[in-house]
Amino acid sequence: MMILLLIVIYVAFIGLGLPDSLFGPAWPAIYQQFNIPVSFQAFVTMTTTICTILSSIFSSRVINKFGTRNVVVLSTLLTVLGLLGYYLSNSFWLLIISAIPLGIGAGAIDSALNNYVAIHYKRVHMNFLHCFYGIGVTLSPYIISMALSEDNNWKKGYLIAFFIQLGICLILVLSMPLWNKVENKNISSSFNTVSIPFFKMIRTPIIVTAGLIFFFYCGVELTTGHWSASFLVNAKNINPDQAAALVGLFYGGLALGRFVSGLVSSKLSSFKLVFTGELILLIASILFILPFSGYIYVGVALFLVGFGCGPIFPNMAAITPTYYGEKYSQSIMGIQMSLAYTSAITISPLFGIIGEKISFNIFPYYLLVLTIILVSLTFTIRILYKNRKELF
């Protein structure tokens, strides 16, 4: 029963990833169609992210009241409506409106399922869970690339994604009796959760440091996802459809990195996997800086960025119940997810402004600085974990 439910959760995480990587590869075509500045991408991603942050912060209370199953199903439905809104949009402002349900849905799904899997399944399953997220985000650039290569119509890509997401939503609806059977066995409610006040959490150094790791990690992932296509088009003179396909290598590396991380998770600790991913990120950033060009070289660099990103998020999420306790984990997971998504309205759009005002050639240096900060924070939290005391 638990394995069947896990498969459903994996499918839900494909749906979580699918919308995340549509917008970045499609953006070069979108801003040209609507005749707006390239940096306006920030307004759409900020809208999505603000809604995601708020959804993550309040996720503990909402999940405690309505249950994981209901929250996941409703949130997936919201993402379906958001994708449909993008397809129907004929102006920039309709993109902004459509971003609202997309953000609310994503935040609730991410917080609910990360905590659920971290508590009820082995660490290997957390890595595989995020591998399925990687499958979702890998599909999207190729969907957009296909739509752009046929008749330069990015909306076709969103229509395809809408139907895929609708199918995933139907699977979740049909699985609702399965969730009931699991809950009746008291598998999903074997502990009492405690909602911790937001301001109490942000005054706790170890929680803030963990949140900052998610913040800077997602800064690397989102900056690459949102802006690497624009970097390739503006700095490397690559066609938009080819750039979208190359971005797919980044997401492919992300998915493979999480799959490999799952395979070796029984041999290596979560922190060793995180540090390994960060080392690969450092190598990939330096590789980007070297004065070489060509599709193969760029593709390898993007793939390695994704592969390095692979182990970091799932393994940091997996240790949350272990280090903080299951009764606190949902609240802390919510704050971690909110800080993770905050990078989409700070780190990612900041690069958009830099790229437009100065040069998109700064992209690899930007990634390198973020990675160095990420490594420093990971060393810091490792020390804090060794010396931790009772939190509350």
DSSP collapsed to 3 states, the chain? CHHHHHHHHHHHHHHHHHHHCCHHHHHHHHHHHHCCCHHHHHHHHHHHHHHHHHHHHCHHHHHHHHCHHHHHHHHHHHHHHHHHHHHHCCCHHHHHHHHHHHHHHHHHHHHHHHHHHHHHCCHHHHHHHHHHHHHHHHHHHHHHHHHHHHHCCHHHHHHHHHHHHHHHHHHHHHCHHHHHHHHHCCCCCCCCCCCCCHHHHCCCHHHHHHHHHHHHHHHHHHHHHHHHHHHHHHHCCCCHHHHHHHHHHHHHHHHHHHHHHHHHCCCCCHHHHHHHHHHHHHHHHHHHHCCCCCHHHHHHHHHHHHHHHCCHHHHHHHHHHHHHCHHHHHHHHHHHHHHHHHHHHCHHHHHHHHHHHCCHHHHHHHHHHHHHHHHHHHHHHHHHHHCCCCCC
- φ/ψ region of 35 (left if φ > 0, alpha if ψ in -120 to 50, else beta) reads left
Q: How confident is the model at residue 200 (pLDDT cuts 50, 70, 90)?
A: confident
How far does the chain reach from its first CA to its final CA, in angstroms?
35
Interatomic CA distance for residues 262 and 268, integer angstroms: 10
Q: How confident is the model at residue 122 (pLDDT cuts 50, 70, 90)?
A: confident
Is the confidence at residue 182, as pLDDT, over 80?
no
Can you tell me the mean pLDDT for 261-271?
87
The number of beta carbons lying within 10 Å of the beta carbon of residue 152 is 13
> By C-alpha distance, which of 1, 27, 227, 274 is closest to 130?
274
Is the confidence at residue 191, as pLDDT, over 70?
no
- The pLDDT, as a whole number, for residue 390 is 56
For each of the domains in the chain, give its residue range(s) and CATH number, in order of start. Answer: 2-386 (1.20.1250.20)
% of the chain exceeding 70 in pLDDT = 94
- The pLDDT, as a whole number, for residue 88 is 95
Chain center to CA of 14? 11
Interatomic CA distance for residues 365 and 220, integer angstroms: 11
> By C-alpha distance, which of 54, 55, 44 is closest to 20?
44
> By C-alpha distance, which of 134, 130, 127, 379 is closest to 265?
127
- The pLDDT, as a whole number, for residue 187 is 45
The answer to whether 149 touches 31, Cβ cutoff 8 Å, is no
- The pLDDT, as a whole number, for residue 204 is 80
Is the confidence at residue 287, as pLDDT, over 70?
yes
CA-CA-CA-CA dihedral for 310, 311, 317, 320, to nearest 10: -170
Most confident of 165-169, 293-297, 320-324: 165-169
Interatomic CA distance for residues 296 and 318, integer angstroms: 34
% of the chain exceeding 90 in pLDDT = 35
Is the confidence at residue 284, as pLDDT, over 90?
yes
Is the confidence at residue 65, as pLDDT, over 60?
yes
Q: How confident is the model at residue 190 (pLDDT cuts 50, 70, 90)?
A: very low
The answer to whether 135 touches 95, Cβ cutoff 8 Å, is no
The answer to whether 331 touches 196, Cβ cutoff 8 Å, is yes
What would you report as the CA-atom Rg of the chain, rounded to the nearest whole angstrom?
A: 20
Chain center to CA of 152? 27
Prediction pTM value: 0.76
- The pLDDT, as a whole number, for residue 193 is 63
Interatomic CA distance for residues 216 and 128, integer angstroms: 22
Tens digit of each residue's pLDDT (9 = 90 or more) over 220-234:
998 998 888 888 888
Q: How confident is the model at residue 120 (pLDDT cuts 50, 70, 90)?
A: confident
Least confident range of 10-24, 198-212, 355-369: 198-212
Residue that has been written with the tokens 């739509």 in this structure: 147
- The pLDDT, as a whole number, for residue 12 is 92
Residue that has been written with the tokens 């759009």 in this structure: 349
> By C-alpha distance, which of 297, 272, 313 is closest to 364?
297
Average pLDDT, the chain: 86
Tens digit of each residue's pLDDT (9 = 90 or more) over 43-59:
898 899 899 889 988 88
Least confident range of 40-44, 80-84, 195-199, 274-278: 195-199
